[in-house]
Amino acid sequence: MSEEEAYEFVKNTLKQERIVPYTQRELDIIHSVESCVNCGLCINYCPVVRAVGLDRFSGPRSIAVELSRSPPEFWASVDKIYLCTGCGTCREVCPRDVNIPEVVNLVRARLFAVRPDLVPSNLIKTSKIIATHNLAFEPWEDPEEKIDSRDMRLERLGIPFVEDPFVENAEVLFYPGCQAEERAQEVREAGKAVLSYFGVNYTLLREMSCCGLPARLIGDVKTAEHLADILTKKVKAAGVKSIVTTCAGCTSSLSQMSQDRKWGIPVYHMMEYLVEVIGIEKVREAVDIKPESEPSKITVHDPCHLIRHTSRQMEDYARELLTVFPIECVSSGVADSCCGGGGMVGYHSPDVANAVTQENVAGIEQSGAEQLLAPCPLCTAQIENALYRSGSDVDVVDFTVFIAQHLKPKE
Ligand code: SF4
Ligand code: SF4
């Protein structure tokens, strides 16, 4: 057999065995796994293990240890790999910096590319929606119904309507994300109301497109990269100096994208923008405070994508902003505990997602808070749903919506 024939033979054998060589980036992640010392610390902190037990989800250590072997073992991991919410708690506590959420993304990407028959069908369905519409949700069939839904939400929440600005040479791009664009429209509207109130020269994208995070979490790297290409073109064409989002996932995803694709501009969550750029004193002057109609006790949820994937400083920003209100900010003891909805677990296994949320529900209930603020529409929906089903009367409000609700009317 000639050298060329031998090469073809090996290549075809690898193809038949569905073995694909690692890229350098994948190798870096796998090397991080090899440093695992099997201490088990991550298991004690994993919210999914705590919620459903090791029989259902064998936990981060098993992902770290078992998946550091040979590619075929990836296929054996399929029962657990879609149950990780990507919260990053294991990475935060790991003494060896093993990057489990990235390992999970790597394995999901391999499964999607080589064994799509093993990917849960509802994730395949979602990936098709994303690839078709460039959004994580199917757009509304009737645009008039979408407007009616938006207006009802604004009226119920007392948020002023601001026309969509599509501005040339704007300083800031406001990027609401798919959830606020197609579902939690009050968050998109609240973001505009807040930025307009403070006189920010901002624009929206004429055509909103997904940042690619949901596709990446499903393992559909091709669609995720395509969406990142589209967004990069839009951001460069807009020529803005910064981006503001109202979603935790978008904040971490766009921050990473800005770094990887050299956008050269910062990405802020709205809370961060208010504290760092607008300034807390201006916020204090802007809010309309009616102590008699305010809930007296409020608690906060700190989304994983803000505190563990972006910066722990986000916790301080949320609490600093609340100092301008005449309320008591109480601790639930579980503010930084994963809501369960991340990592597409809410789509794939809602029973597991809801089991994880029970820890939040118990902490929020015992805190005595009348209201929970969450700076992310996904966490808001997940926790609100769980509290409602538990019979709780704690009100759940998105953080940006809360700020927009309290702005003084302008003369
Ligand atoms: S990222 Fe979160 S859910 Fe996933 S294994 Fe780590 S601690 Fe568990
Ligand atoms: S905490 Fe880190 S080193 Fe310890 S078992 Fe988990 S992944 Fe391995």
Amino acid at position 6, single letter: A
* Beta bridge mates, 296: none
Amino acid at position 308, single letter: R
Is there an atom of ligand 2 within 6 Å of 327 CB?
Answer: no
Q: 321: alpha, beta or left, given left = phi > 0 and alpha = psi -120 to 50?
A: alpha
Task: Give ranges for CATH 1.10.1060.10 in the chain.
Answer: 3-119
Ligand 1 atom with the shortest distance to the CA of 86: 1
What is the rounded distance in angstroms from the CA atom of residue 364 to the CA atom of residue 143?
Answer: 37
Predicted confidence at residue 72, as pLDDT, reads 62
Is there an atom of ligand 2 within 6 Å of 64 CB?
Answer: yes
Please choose, from the candidates 269, 102, 260, 237, the residue with its C-alpha nearest in 3D space to the C-alpha of residue 168. 237
Class at the top of the CATH hierarchy for domain 3-119: mainly alpha
Is there an atom of ligand 2 within 6 Å of 39 CB?
Answer: yes
Class at the top of the CATH hierarchy for domain 143-280: alpha beta
Three-state DSSP at 243 gives: strand
Task: Give ranges for CATH 3.40.50.1860 in the chain.
Answer: 287-405
Predicted confidence at residue 298, as pLDDT, reads 96
Architecture of the CATH domain 287-405: 3-Layer(aba) Sandwich (3.40)
**Which parts of 219-343 fold into alpha helices (H)?**
221-238, 248-260, 270-273, 280-286, 304-307, 313-322
- Protein residue with its CA nearest to atom 4 in ligand 1: 84
174 with 182: CB under 8 angstroms? no
Distance 17 CA to ligand 1 centre (A): 30
- Protein residue with its CA nearest to atom 7 in ligand 1: 46
Is there an atom of ligand 2 within 6 Å of 36 CB?
Answer: yes
Ligand 1 atom with the shortest distance to the CA of 45: 7
Task: Look up tokens 């808001």; give the residue.
Answer: 380
Ligand 2 atom with the shortest distance to the CA of 33: 7
What is the rounded distance in angstroms from the CA atom of residue 184 to the CA atom of residue 156?
Answer: 13
Is there an atom of ligand 2 within 6 Å of 41 CB?
Answer: yes
> How is residue 17 annotated by DSSP?
T
Ligand 2 atom with the shortest distance to the CA of 97: 2
For residue 89, give the ligand nearest its CA. Answer: 1
Q: Which long-range contacts (CB under 8 A, 24 or more apart) does 346-352 make?
A: 346/378, 346/382, 347/122, 347/123, 347/126, 348/82, 348/83, 348/120, 348/122, 348/123, 349/82, 349/83, 352/48, 352/51, 352/52, 352/56, 352/57, 352/83
Is there an atom of ligand 2 within 6 Å of 40 CB?
Answer: yes
Is there an atom of ligand 2 within 6 Å of 60 CB?
Answer: yes
Ligand 1 mutation pick, 29, 84, 108, max ligand atoms within 8 A of CB: 84
Three-state DSSP at 80 gives: helix
- Protein residue with its CA nearest to atom 8 in ligand 1: 46
CB-defined site of ligand 1, < 6 Å:
46-48, 60, 84-90, 100-101
Ligand 1 atom with the shortest distance to the CA of 91: 6
Is there an atom of ligand 2 within 6 Å of 176 CB?
Answer: no
Ligand 2 atom with the shortest distance to the CA of 35: 3
CA 196 to chain CA mean position, Å: 25
Task: Look up tokens 């509802």; give the residue.
Answer: 122
Q: What is the largest CA-CA distance in the chain?
A: 88
Q: What is the dihedral of CA 142, 235, 188, 361, to 10 degrees?
A: 110
Predicted confidence at residue 71, as pLDDT, reads 61
Question: From the first residue on, what is the mean pLDDT of each consecutive set of 10 residues in the chain (411 residues)?
Answer: 76 68 80 87 96 93 74 73 96 93 91 90 96 94 96 95 96 97 97 98 97 97 98 97 98 97 97 98 91 82 96 96 93 97 93 97 97 97 97 97 93 71
Burial class (CB in 10 A: 0-12, 13-18, 19+), 335: buried
For residue 60, give the ligand nearest its CA. Answer: 1
The CA–CA distances, whole Å, from 172 to 194, 250, 290 equal 13, 15, 31
Distance 22 CA to ligand 1 centre (A): 23
